[in-house]
Structure 1
C-alpha cells in the first residue's frame, strides 16, 4: 500500500473556509474540508476503503486519515494540518467518489468539533464549494443559453495543486481541433502546454493570462461544439463550473486490481511534433509505441482520445508508478513564478516568499531525511588523466566538462554495481533495468533534476550536449514532465562553486546520490609531485545498501575517473574487485 506522500499526487484538495452561514452558532467555526484527491494521471474517481481516524479523534500534520482505492492501487491519504476529525461525509465502502468531492470535515484546533458535525452541509458531497448553488442545487449560470464544455486546470506534475496561466494561444471565437495548443501553464516545476482533446470553438476564457493560484480542476475556459452559437454560451456565475454538455475524453474504467510492480522507469518520449504533452505522458505511462496507434488529429497526429481509446480497447494498465511527494496543501499561496515575491515588513528586513518549487523540495528532502537512514562513503580520485582527455575533446571541437565525465563514470559504475541502481517502491527496492542519471541544476526557483536517460550507453560528447540543452530549458522552466521525473541515481556537483567536499540528501524514490566537489591541487606523497584530486561523497539508503556495497561502487567510480580509457572499453570484470577473493588473500 502506498502513502499519499509516495504516490502519484495531482493534488491533495484541502481548503479552509468559514462556515458562518451553515453552523447553528453565533460565531463561525474554522473548518478544513477534505476532498477526494487525484492520485494518478488517469484517476477520475476513487473509493474509500477504510477510515483510520474516527469522528472526534485528533489529527496532526502527516497523520493518515483514510485508505483510497484508485484506478492503480490503494493509497493512504494524509492531512497537512492539526485539528479534530469532525464529520465523515463519505463512509468506507460507499462506492465511487469523484475527484474533488467533499469526503470529510476537520475542525481546527480549539474549535468545537461537535458543532461542525451537527451543522447542516449546503450541497451534497458531490457539489464543489466553488459552485454557487441555487435552491435546486444546480450551478448559477449567467449569459446565454448554449451549454458549454468546461476546460479545467489540468494536473501537469505529481506535486501540482494549482497553476498559473502564462499565455493563451487561442482567442474567443477561434476554432480548435484535437491536439491544438490552447495555453501555457506554469506548474510548480515547469511551463507546460495544454492541448485540446476535441474539436469545437473556444467560446469563453474564464481565467486571463497571468492569473495565478488556480486550483487543479477549476474551469479556465468554455468551448462549444461546431455549429453552436459560441457568443450565446452560458457562463458560470461566482466561479461556478457549468455542467458540461459533453464530457472530455476520460480514462479507462478503474480496475480493482492494484498496478503491478514497476519494471522500468525508462520510456521514450515521442517527439512533440507528433503529440501534445498530455498525449505523450499517457504513451509514456502505459509504455505504448506510437506506431501502434492511428492518429485522428491534424496531419494524422496522435491525440489524447486516440491513446485513451487504445488503452481501453486493450485493457492496459500503467507500467510506471512515479513516486513523488505532494505539495503541502491547505495553506498554499498563489502559484509563484521563477522570481519569488519580496515583502518589506515594518522591521526594515526583507522577507522573501518561498517559491512553490522550494516548498516541494523542502517537503521532499525532509521526508527523505526522516524516512531513509543515510549512510555516507567518500573517495578521492586523481583527475589529471580525465583533464588531459578533456583537452583532447576540446581540441576536436567538443566542449565537454569534467562533470560530463563524472556522469559517464557514474553510469558506467552502475553497470558494474547494478545493486545501486534502485528505486524504492512500496518500501521495497526495485532494481531498474536502465540507467537514467538525474543531474541537479540550480534555477532561480530552486533545484531541479533533468535526466540523462540510458547514460551508460552514450558517449561523453553526447552526454555533454544533452546536459547543456536540458539545463538551459530547466532554467527557463520549459522541461517536459518525463525530462525531470523518474531517474535511477542523482549527481549533485558543486565543484564549479569552489566547494571541495559536501554531502547531499537522497532524491526519493532513488536509493543514492553522489555529491561531487571541485578539483584541488595536492602533493602526491609517493611521487612528491603535484596532482589534481577530486573528492566525492555517496549518500545511500542504509536500509537497502550496506557499507560494503557502497565501497564497491565508490571504488569502481574512482577507478573510472583515474583511468578514463575504461569508460569506452565495454564491460571488464576486473574493474570491480572480487570482495570474497580479496578477503581470502
Structure 2
C-alpha cells in the first residue's frame, strides 16, 4: 500500500500504525501479511531487509569452507575492499574481501563452523544510513544444523559466559580435523596472554600445530589436560579479561573434561529396559557423534530406543544420559559383549596367571596415521588405479651432479627428478589434473607434493610453482619442508593442495614399488633406487625404475606413456635442468 506524500515505502510487522506527515495525521491502516514481503524501508521504525553475504568459492576445487575468524564485528562499517573474514578452504586459509560499502549487521555463521557450503548465507549487511540493529533475518535462510557444524554436543550447549569471560573451544586447525590431542599447554593458569601468544601445542590429523590467541587476557582455567583427545568445538579452557579475578569464574554446567566418564546411575538395581547384548533394537537412523556412540556401546543401548531432541534428527549426549538415569540402565560388562574368548585373551590370561609379562603390546594409533589409513583405504576402494613402469639411465645425471658439487652446488638425485617431473607435467598437462565431482580439473600451475616420512606418519609438503624454481632452490625448499614436517611445524598452507605427488624410496634401497594416489590428485610417481647393471654392449650403467600410478577415470594409458617418455628423456639428458646455475661448465657435458 502506498501512502501519498511519503518519502518511502514501509512494511509493518504489527499491522496497525500511525504516522505524522507534515501537518497531517495518517490514520492507522492494516497491511496484510502477504504484502509485507513486497515492501522495504530504510527507517529505524521498522525492520531492515539486509543484503545477503554468501560463502564464496575461494579456490577452483572448493565446495565448502570453515569460518576461521571474523575480522569485522556486528555494527562495524565496511569499506570497499575491506577484509571481513578468514576462511579455510580445501587449500589454505584465505581472506574474504567485501566489494561494497555498508555495515556488518548480522553474523549468521559463527567462528569455527565447518563444512559451510559454497553459496550458503553467512552474514547480512545493510546500507551505511540504515539501522543495522533492526536487520531482519530472511525467512528462507538455511542455518547449518548441528550435524553440519563440527561442534561437540556435550560442550556447545553451555550457557553464555558472563561479561569478561571467554570460553575457549578446540579450534579446527585443518580442513579435515574433527578432533585434536592437546600435546602441551604453553601457558599456566593465571598467566597473562598477549595478542599473538601461543597457548598450546595441538596434534591434528596432519601435524602438531601451535594454537595462538588474538586477544589479550588471563588464562583462568584449563578444562582439558595434556594428552586429552578433544573434539573440535569442545571447551578446553576459559580466559578472562585482565584485571578480573581469574580464580572467580563461572564453569559451564554441561561441559566436562574429555576423559571424564559418564555419570553412574544413582540406583544400582538392574534395568528392565536395557537391551541384552547382541539383541539391541534396530537403529533409528538418527545422527549422533562419537561421545553418544561410546555411551550407547557402554550401556548396551541402540539409538532406536531413545528419541533425540537435537535439530535434524540428531541424538544428543544429554538425551542418552537422561534415558540412562530415568531407566536406571547399568553398564554392560565386557565379558557379556564378546561372544567367545579369543586366543589372544586366553594367552594373556595364562601369562598373567603364570606371573609372566604379556606377549603383545598395544600401540596407540596417532591421529595422522588414523587419517592416512582412512584416506588410503578410500583411495584404493574408490579410484581405479592403473600402473605404468619405465627404466631410466642416470649416468649423465650423476655426471652433472658431480660437476655441480665441484662448483659447491649440492643437489640430490631427487631434486633432479622433482625438476624433471615439473617440466614433464608442463609438457603433458593431462597428468597435472584433479578429479572432483565427476569432473577433470586441469590446473595451470605445477605444485608438486613430496612425500616425507615422520615419526607420526606420512605427510606431503608442497613445492609450489616448481617449474619456476632452479635446482638449488628446489633442494633448499625440500630440505626446509622435510625438517618442518619431522618437527611437526608445517603450516596448513604448506601441505594442503598440490597437483602431483612424488614418493621416493630409493634412499632406502627399494628397487621398485607402486604408490597409492592422493585424491583429488590423479597421479603419483614412485621412485626406486639407482642400481648398476650391464647394457647390451656389456658396459656398466646406472638404471632407475619409476612407476606412475594414475586414475584411469582421468588419465588413459597413452597419456601415461607420453608423460613417462618425456620424463625419461629429461632425466637421461638433464643438461637444461641445471642450466640456470651451471652455465660455465654445461658445454663440457657433451
TM-score, length basis structure 1? 0.57
Structure 1 counterpart of 2:143, from 76, 80, 96: 96
Which residue is 2:240 aligned to? 224
| 1:561 matches 2:571 | yes
Report the Cα distance in structure 1 between the residues aligned to 2:491 and 2:463, rounded to whole angstroms. Answer: 13
Which residue is 1:72 aligned to? 118
Report the Cα distance in structure 2 between the residues aligned to 1:46 and 1:483, rounded to whole angstroms. Answer: 27
User: Structure 1 residue 147: deviation in Å?
Assistant: 5.7
SS at match of 1:500: coil
Structure 2 counterpart of 1:396, from 401, 407, 414: 407
Instruction: Tell whether the 8 Å contact from 1:372 to 1:541 is kept in structure 2 after alignment.
Output: yes
Q: Could you tell me which runs of 5 or more consecutive residues in structure 1 were left unpaired when the two chains were aligned.
A: 12-37, 48-67, 75-92, 104-125, 242-327, 334-342, 571-585
Which residue is 1:466 aligned to? 477
Which residue is 1:418 aligned to? 429
User: Structure 1 residue 405: deviation in Å?
Assistant: 0.9
How does 1:288-327 map onto structure 2 within 5 Å?
none
Instruction: Tell whether the 8 Å contact from 1:46 to 1:99 is kept in structure 2 after alignment.
Output: no
| 1:375 matches 2:386 | yes
Which structure's relative contact order is higher, taking Cα pairs within 8 Å and 6+ residues apart?
Answer: 1
User: Structure 1 residue 569: deviation in Å?
Assistant: 5.9
SS at match of 1:222: strand
Report the Cα distance in structure 1 between the residues aligned to 2:466 and 2:149, rounded to whole angstroms. Answer: 45
Which residue is 1:407 aligned to? 418
| 1:128 matches 2:150 | no
Give per-residue Cα distances to partners, 1:356-398, cap 9 Å, x unaligned: 2122112111211222211211111100111111112222333
Instruction: Tell whether the 8 Å contact from 2:471 to 2:578 is kept in structure 1 after alignment.
Output: no
Give per-residue Cα distances to partners, 1:280-309, cap 9 Å, x unaligned: xxxxxxxxxxxxxxxxxxxxxxxxxxxxxx
Instruction: Tell whether the 8 Å contact from 1:161 to 1:215 is kept in structure 2 after alignment.
Output: yes
Report the Cα distance in structure 2 between the residues aligned to 1:563 and 1:331, rounded to whole angstroms. Answer: 61
Which residue is 1:214 aligned to? 230
| 1:491 matches 2:502 | yes
Instruction: Tell whether the 8 Å contact from 1:10 to 1:161 is kept in structure 2 after alignment.
Output: no
SS at match of 1:188: coil
Structure 2 counterpart of 1:477, from 484, 488, 501: 488
User: Structure 1 residue 179: deviation in Å?
Assistant: 2.5
Report the Cα distance in structure 1 between the residues aligned to 2:383 and 2:62, rounded to whole angstroms. Answer: 13
| 1:518 matches 2:522 | no
| 1:165 matches 2:182 | yes
User: Structure 1 residue 161: deviation in Å?
Assistant: 1.7
Report the Cα distance in structure 2 between the residues aligned to 1:98 and 1:384, rounded to whole angstroms. Answer: 61
| 1:533 matches 2:543 | yes
Report the Cα distance in structure 1 between the residues aligned to 2:215 and 2:255, rounded to whole angstroms. Answer: 24
Which residue is 1:298 aligned to? none
Instruction: Tell whether the 8 Å contact from 2:409 to 2:472 is kept in structure 1 after alignment.
Output: yes
Greater displacement, 481-490 / 422-431: 422-431
Greater displacement, 481-490 / 174-183: 174-183
User: Structure 1 residue 332: deviation in Å?
Assistant: 10
Which residue is 2:341 aligned to? none
User: Structure 1 residue 232: deviation in Å?
Assistant: 2.1
Instruction: Tell whether the 8 Å contact from 2:180 to 2:232 is kept in structure 1 after alignment.
Output: yes
| 1:359 matches 2:384 | no
CA spacing shift, 1:364–1:416, aligned 2, 3 Å: same
Report the Cα distance in structure 2 between the residues aligned to 1:221 and 1:182, rounded to whole angstroms. Answer: 10
Greater displacement, 232-241 / 163-172: 232-241
Report the Cα distance in structure 2 between the residues aligned to 1:6 and 1:370, rounded to whole angstroms. Answer: 23
User: Structure 1 residue 545: deviation in Å?
Assistant: 0.9
SS at match of 1:418: coil
Report the Cα distance in structure 2 between the residues aligned to 1:410 and 1:332, rounded to whole angstroms. Answer: 46
SS at match of 1:201: strand
CA spacing shift, 1:413–1:331, aligned 2, 3 Å: farther
User: Structure 1 residue 504: deviation in Å?
Assistant: 1.0
Structure 1 counterpart of 2:168, from 144, 151, 167: 151
Instruction: Tell whether the 8 Å contact from 2:65 to 2:117 is kept in structure 1 after alignment.
Output: no
User: Structure 1 residue 69: deviation in Å?
Assistant: 8.1
SS at match of 2:251: strand
Give per-residue Cα distances to partners, 1:405-459, cap 9 Å, x unaligned: 1111111111111221112232312111221111111122211111111111111
Which residue is 1:317 aligned to? none
Give per-residue Cα distances to partners, 1:48-86, cap 9 Å, x unaligned: xxxxxxxxxxxxxxxxxxxx9824268xxxxxxxxxxxx
Report the Cα distance in structure 2 between the residues aligned to 1:211 and 1:497, rounded to whole angstroms. Answer: 33
SS at match of 2:518: coil
SS at match of 1:234: coil
Count of aligned pairs:
377
SS at match of 1:521: strand
Report the Cα distance in structure 2 between the residues aligned to 1:332 and 1:475, rounded to whole angstroms. Answer: 34
Structure 1 counterpart of 2:558, from 537, 548, 552: 548
Instruction: Compare CA radii of gyration and give the structure with the larger one.
Output: 2
CA spacing shift, 1:518–1:329, aligned 2, 3 Å: farther
Greater displacement, 543-552 / 161-170: 161-170
CA spacing shift, 1:232–1:175, aligned 2, 3 Å: same
CA spacing shift, 1:398–1:156, aligned 2, 3 Å: same
Instruction: Tell whether the 8 Å contact from 1:45 to 1:96 is kept in structure 2 after alignment.
Output: yes
Report the Cα distance in structure 2 between the residues aligned to 1:235 and 1:161, rounded to whole angstroms. Answer: 24
Give per-residue Cα distances to partners, 1:104-154, cap 9 Å, x unaligned: xxxxxxxxxxxxxxxxxxxxxx99334787xxxx58x9xxx7662111110
Give per-residue Cα distances to partners, 1:21-43, cap 9 Å, x unaligned: xxxxxxxxxxxxxxxxx998799
